[in-house]
Amino acid sequence: MNLFLAAASSVHETEKLVSFTLLQLLCIIAGARLCGGLARQLGQPRVVGEIVGGLVLGPSLFGRLFPAQFEFVFHSTSPLPLLILSQIGLTLLMFQIGLEFDFSHLRERQNRNAMVAISAAGIALPFALGWWLGDVSHATLAPDIQPLGYRLFLAVALSITAIPILGRIMMELGISRTRLGVIAITAAALDDVTGWSLLALVSALTMAQFSGPAFFTKVALLGVYFVVSLLVLRPALHWLVRKFPPRDGQLSHNL
């Protein structure tokens, strides 16, 4: 009897989790479509409206004006399924961006030089601004946090580009296969790699409490991750593309 009750309870919890996850997806997709369509009417990219839709459905507006309904829709079950789906969606969007852009433009030296210069400026200027903001705001916003770690975190966080948003905007504008679009998205990608790597270093330094041995251990593990990605995963992906090449512009099911 106890086993039967436990099984029934498990099924009930699963059905509840699925039901509320579908309800959340319905609200999110409807909000994104409505706000995206409104943004298009105003001459803005659809993704801008989708971001506004996300803010409208969040605790800042929906949660403040209708707290009971907000709690019912988004907090009746664990948020884990929606978090997983959001990360899968982001991964698929990055994959789509990689497919849509014509990176053959980077074979020209002039375009590569422009990309590197734009990326460097896109990191240096926000980093300097973030460092200054961290210096002037530390005493007010984070007096209990180590000053150097706070300034480094703020500087690096402002240096990271929202590459999925940029990619969506350029695809909507129809410039994903132009020289301008490829330089912009590649510079943003380089910014992302550099920014997230710096953020990982800053986080490692902070978590290690600025201890030399602990910090270098974390840096060494980060280096192992990069080496495996470049020397193992990247060649494996190249092999897969050669093994299952696209035909007539269409990806095979295996690829």
**Structural contact between residues 228 and 214, judged by C-beta atoms closer than 8 angstroms:** no
Angle between helices 147-157 and 109-141 (to 10 degrees): 140
pLDDT at 217: 81
| Rounded mean pLDDT, 114-118 | 89
- With a cut of 60, say whether residue 193 has pLDDT above it: yes
d(CA 211, CA 64): 43
Q: How far is CA 109 from CA 9, 57, 91, 114, in A?
A: 63, 46, 30, 9
- With a cut of 80, say whether residue 207 has pLDDT above it: no
pLDDT at 30: 95
**Among 7-16, 183-192, 223-232, which range has the highest average pLDDT?**
223-232
From the centroid of its chain, how far is CA 66? Answer: 29
d(CA 97, CA 185): 9
- Per-residue pLDDT tens digits for 16-42: 899 999 999 999 999 999 999 999 999
pLDDT at 55: 92
pLDDT at 97: 84
- With a cut of 90, say whether residue 70 has pLDDT above it: yes
CB atoms within 10 A of CB 189: 21
Beta partners for 250?
Answer: 247
Round the average pLDDT of the chain to a whole number and report it: 86
Which band of pLDDT confidence, cut at 50, 70 and 90, is reported for residue 84?
Answer: very high
Q: Which residue has the higher pLDDT, 66 or 3?
A: 66
36: CB partners within 8 A, 6+ apart: 46, 47, 49, 50, 53
**Sequence letter at residue 158:** L
pLDDT at 199: 80
- Per-residue pLDDT tens digits for 91-102: 898 888 888 888
pLDDT at 5: 56
- Per-residue pLDDT tens digits for 46-59: 999 999 999 999 99
